[in-house]
Protein backbone atom coordinates (compact mmCIF):
# COMPACT_ATOMS: atom_id res chain seq x y z
CA UNK A 1 0.00 0.00 0.00
CA UNK A 2 1.36 3.41 -0.93
CA UNK A 3 1.70 6.01 1.82
CA UNK A 4 -0.79 8.51 0.38
CA UNK A 5 -3.31 5.75 -0.23
CA UNK A 6 -2.97 4.62 3.41
CA UNK A 7 -3.43 8.15 4.74
CA UNK A 8 -6.50 8.81 2.61
CA UNK A 9 -8.18 5.41 3.10
CA UNK A 10 -7.48 4.71 6.80
CA UNK A 11 -10.62 4.91 8.92
CA UNK A 12 -11.26 4.60 12.64
CA UNK A 13 -12.57 1.23 13.79
CA UNK A 14 -14.38 0.75 17.09
CA UNK A 15 -15.52 -2.84 16.61
CA UNK A 16 -13.12 -5.76 16.41
CA UNK A 17 -13.13 -9.52 15.96
CA UNK A 18 -11.72 -11.81 18.64
CA UNK A 19 -8.64 -12.61 16.50
CA UNK A 20 -5.48 -11.81 18.43
CA UNK A 21 -2.95 -9.15 17.49
CA UNK A 22 0.38 -10.96 17.35
CA UNK A 23 3.49 -9.90 19.24
CA UNK A 24 5.21 -9.29 15.88
CA UNK A 25 2.37 -6.99 14.77
CA UNK A 26 2.42 -5.12 18.07
CA UNK A 27 6.21 -4.70 17.87
CA UNK A 28 5.89 -3.22 14.37
CA UNK A 29 3.16 -0.83 15.52
CA UNK A 30 5.26 0.39 18.46
CA UNK A 31 8.34 0.63 16.22
CA UNK A 32 6.35 2.89 13.87
CA UNK A 33 5.41 5.08 16.82
CA UNK A 34 9.05 5.48 17.77
CA UNK A 35 9.89 6.57 14.22
CA UNK A 36 7.76 9.71 14.59
CA UNK A 37 9.31 13.17 14.54
CA UNK A 38 9.69 14.78 17.94
CA UNK A 39 10.32 18.28 19.23
CA UNK A 40 14.07 18.86 19.73
CA UNK A 41 14.52 15.14 18.99
CA UNK A 42 13.67 14.39 22.65
CA UNK A 43 11.57 11.30 21.79
CA UNK A 44 9.55 11.76 24.97
CA UNK A 45 7.05 9.00 24.30
CA UNK A 46 6.39 6.13 26.66
CA UNK A 47 4.08 3.35 25.48
CA UNK A 48 2.08 1.07 27.75
CA UNK A 49 0.51 -1.87 25.92
CA UNK A 50 -2.35 -3.72 27.59
CA UNK A 51 -3.98 -6.98 26.55
CA UNK A 52 -5.59 -7.71 29.92
CA UNK A 53 -9.37 -7.65 29.33
CA UNK A 54 -10.07 -6.96 33.01
CA UNK A 55 -7.93 -3.82 32.96
CA UNK A 56 -9.68 -2.58 29.85
CA UNK A 57 -13.06 -3.31 31.46
CA UNK A 58 -12.04 -1.25 34.51
CA UNK A 59 -11.51 1.76 32.24
CA UNK A 60 -14.92 1.58 30.54
CA UNK A 61 -16.90 3.45 33.25
CA UNK A 62 -14.53 6.43 32.96
CA UNK A 63 -15.87 7.55 29.57
CA UNK A 64 -18.96 6.88 27.45
CA UNK A 65 -16.73 7.17 24.36
CA UNK A 66 -14.42 4.24 25.08
CA UNK A 67 -16.72 1.40 24.02
CA UNK A 68 -14.00 0.15 21.66
CA UNK A 69 -12.23 -1.23 24.75
CA UNK A 70 -14.93 -3.90 24.99
CA UNK A 71 -13.61 -5.59 21.84
CA UNK A 72 -10.06 -4.28 21.31
CA UNK A 73 -7.33 -6.89 21.44
CA UNK A 74 -4.74 -4.42 22.63
CA UNK A 75 -4.75 -0.94 24.12
CA UNK A 76 -1.75 1.33 23.64
CA UNK A 77 -1.47 4.20 26.11
CA UNK A 78 0.80 6.95 24.81
CA UNK A 79 2.39 9.26 27.38
CA UNK A 80 4.94 12.06 27.30
CA UNK A 81 7.85 11.69 29.72
CA UNK A 82 8.26 15.04 31.50
CA UNK A 83 11.82 14.11 32.42
CA UNK A 84 12.80 14.07 28.73
CA UNK A 85 11.15 17.45 28.15
CA UNK A 86 13.07 19.48 30.70
CA UNK A 87 14.11 22.82 29.26
CA UNK A 88 11.50 22.90 26.48
CA UNK A 89 7.73 23.56 26.54
CA UNK A 90 5.61 20.59 27.64
CA UNK A 91 3.46 20.99 24.53
CA UNK A 92 6.32 19.49 22.50
CA UNK A 93 5.54 16.25 24.33
CA UNK A 94 1.91 16.41 23.23
CA UNK A 95 2.95 17.14 19.64
CA UNK A 96 5.53 14.35 19.60
CA UNK A 97 3.16 11.78 21.13
CA UNK A 98 0.41 12.80 18.71
CA UNK A 99 2.72 12.16 15.76
CA UNK A 100 3.65 8.79 17.28
CA UNK A 101 -0.03 7.94 17.74
CA UNK A 102 -0.82 8.68 14.10
CA UNK A 103 2.17 6.62 12.97
CA UNK A 104 0.91 3.68 15.02
CA UNK A 105 -2.62 3.92 13.61
CA UNK A 106 -1.20 3.95 10.07
CA UNK A 107 1.09 1.01 10.88
CA UNK A 108 -1.85 -0.97 12.26
CA UNK A 109 -3.79 -0.24 9.07
CA UNK A 110 -0.83 -1.27 6.94
CA UNK A 111 -0.78 -4.60 8.81
CA UNK A 112 -4.45 -5.20 8.05
CA UNK A 113 -5.57 -4.18 11.55
CA UNK A 114 -7.91 -1.44 12.64
CA UNK A 115 -7.72 1.09 15.41
CA UNK A 116 -9.20 4.17 16.95
CA UNK A 117 -7.71 7.08 18.87
CA UNK A 118 -9.45 7.41 22.22
CA UNK A 119 -9.23 10.76 23.94
CA UNK A 120 -7.93 11.28 27.44
CA UNK A 121 -7.13 14.78 28.64
CA UNK A 122 -5.16 16.04 31.58
CA UNK A 123 -7.56 17.94 33.82
CA UNK A 124 -10.60 15.84 32.86
CA UNK A 125 -12.44 14.37 35.85
CA UNK A 126 -11.48 10.78 34.92
CA UNK A 127 -7.80 11.48 34.16
CA UNK A 128 -6.43 10.71 37.62
CA UNK A 129 -8.64 7.64 38.02
CA UNK A 130 -7.33 6.39 34.66
CA UNK A 131 -3.73 6.89 35.78
CA UNK A 132 -4.40 5.14 39.08
CA UNK A 133 -6.01 2.08 37.46
CA UNK A 134 -3.02 1.64 35.15
CA UNK A 135 -0.33 2.67 37.65
CA UNK A 136 1.00 5.48 35.46
CA UNK A 137 3.70 7.49 37.28
CA UNK A 138 3.58 11.26 37.83
CA UNK A 139 6.27 12.06 35.24
CA UNK A 140 4.18 10.49 32.43
CA UNK A 141 1.53 12.80 30.93
CA UNK A 142 -1.05 10.65 29.14
CA UNK A 143 -1.68 12.03 25.64
CA UNK A 144 -3.71 9.35 23.87
CA UNK A 145 -4.96 5.80 23.84
CA UNK A 146 -5.21 3.57 20.81
CA UNK A 147 -7.60 0.62 20.72
CA UNK A 148 -6.26 -1.90 18.19
CA UNK A 149 -7.61 -5.15 16.74
CA UNK A 150 -8.82 -6.89 13.62
CA UNK A 151 -11.70 -4.76 12.28
CA UNK A 152 -15.14 -6.36 12.48
CA UNK A 153 -16.42 -4.27 9.57
CA UNK A 154 -15.12 -2.78 6.35
CA UNK A 155 -15.38 0.98 6.03
CA UNK A 156 -15.33 2.80 2.75
CA UNK A 157 -12.73 5.54 2.24
CA UNK A 158 -13.95 9.09 2.66
CA UNK A 159 -12.38 12.09 0.94
CA UNK A 160 -12.15 14.79 3.60
CA UNK A 161 -10.45 17.55 1.64
CA UNK A 162 -12.31 20.70 2.65
CA UNK A 163 -11.10 23.71 0.70
CA UNK A 164 -12.97 26.08 3.02
CA UNK A 165 -10.41 25.17 5.70
CA UNK A 166 -7.37 25.62 3.43
CA UNK A 167 -6.14 29.19 3.18
CA UNK A 168 -3.57 30.28 0.61
CA UNK A 169 -1.11 33.10 1.23
CA UNK A 170 -3.62 35.13 3.30
CA UNK A 171 -5.88 34.04 6.12
CA UNK A 172 -9.36 33.56 4.70
CA UNK A 173 -8.25 33.27 1.06
CA UNK A 174 -9.29 29.71 0.16
CA UNK A 175 -7.68 27.38 -2.34
CA UNK A 176 -9.30 27.13 -5.76
CA UNK A 177 -10.32 23.91 -7.44
CA UNK A 178 -8.08 22.83 -10.27
Stronger pLDDT, 125 or 50, i.e. the higher one = 50
What is the pLDDT at residue 1? 72
| Residue 126 covered by a domain | yes
Is residue 171, in this structure, part of any structural domain at all?
no
Q: Is 174 a domain residue?
A: no
Instruction: Answer whether residue 172 is part of any domain.
Output: no
pLDDT digits (tens, 9 = 90+) for 11-24: 999 999 999 999 99
State residue 160's pLDDT score: 93
Is 33 in contact with 100 (CB distance < 8 Å)?
A: yes
Task: Note down the domain range covering 78.
Answer: 3-165
Evaluate whether residue 75 is within a structural domain.
Answer: yes
Domain count of the chain? 1
The predicted-structure confidence for 119-166, as pLDDT tens digits, reads as follows 998 888 899 999 999 999 999 999 999 999 999 999 999 999 999 999
CATH number at residue 81: 3.40.109.10
Bridge partners, residue 148, by sequence: 74, 115
The answer to the question of residue 26 being in a domain is: yes
Q: What's the mean per-residue pLDDT of the chain?
A: 95
Q: Indicate whether 178 belongs to any domain.
A: no
Asked whether the beta carbons of 42 and 77 are under 8 A apart, the reply is: no
pLDDT at 48 over 90: yes
State the pLDDT at residue 178. 60
Tell me the whole-structure pTM to 2 decimals: 0.94
Amino acid sequence: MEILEAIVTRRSHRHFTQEAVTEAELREIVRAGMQAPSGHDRRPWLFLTIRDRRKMQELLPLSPWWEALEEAQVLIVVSADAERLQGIPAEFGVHSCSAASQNMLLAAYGLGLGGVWLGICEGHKSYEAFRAILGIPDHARVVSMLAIGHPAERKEPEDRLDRAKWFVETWGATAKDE
